[in-house]
């Protein structure tokens, strides 16, 4: 079992920055890759960014150049640095961990970007 707890969400004006954190605990040795997803009101959950065990990253086109995903393996923490935020970045952001047998989700943290 893997437990994921997100933090760092909040209300920010357009153009501002936030850094999300996701603390992982439990069977963290089994985690292959981690990712951030988000879900805006009335929309489907979408992949924002992912990072593999080797450090390879990928981003949704909508956040490329503005968001950076990183992973601190020593502290079992995943980060998402979000810069130049836009109102369309508003939503609940979820941490996601992928293991060979199961995938895990955090409870989510709300990000609201005002115009």
For residue range 17-50, what is the model confidence (pLDDT) as tens digits? Answer: 999 999 999 988 888 999 999 999 999 999 999 9
CA 104 to chain CA centroid, nearest Å:
13
DSSP state of 41: T
DSSP 3-state percent helix, strand, coil across the chain (nearest 5): 10, 55, 35
For residue range 69-113, what is the model confidence (pLDDT) as tens digits? Answer: 999 988 899 999 999 999 999 999 999 999 998 999 999 999 999
Q: In what order do the strands lie in the sheet with 77-82?
A: 2-7, 18-26, 77-82, 67-72
């Amino acid at each position: 079992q893997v437990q994921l707890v997100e933090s760092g969400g909040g209300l920010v004006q357009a153009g501002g920055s936030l850094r999300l954190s996701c603390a992982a605990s439990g069977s963290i040795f089994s985690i292959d890759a981690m990712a951030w997803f988000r879900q805006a009101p009335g929309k489907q959950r979408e992949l924002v960014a992912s990072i593999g065990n080797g450090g390879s990253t990928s981003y949704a086109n909508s956040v490329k150049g503005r968001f950076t995903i990183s992973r601190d393996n020593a502290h079992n923490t995943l980060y998402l640095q979000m810069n130049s935020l836009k109102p369309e970045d508003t939503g609940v952001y979820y941490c996601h961990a992928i293991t060979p047998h199961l995938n895990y989700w955090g409870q989510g943290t709300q990000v609201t970007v005002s115009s």
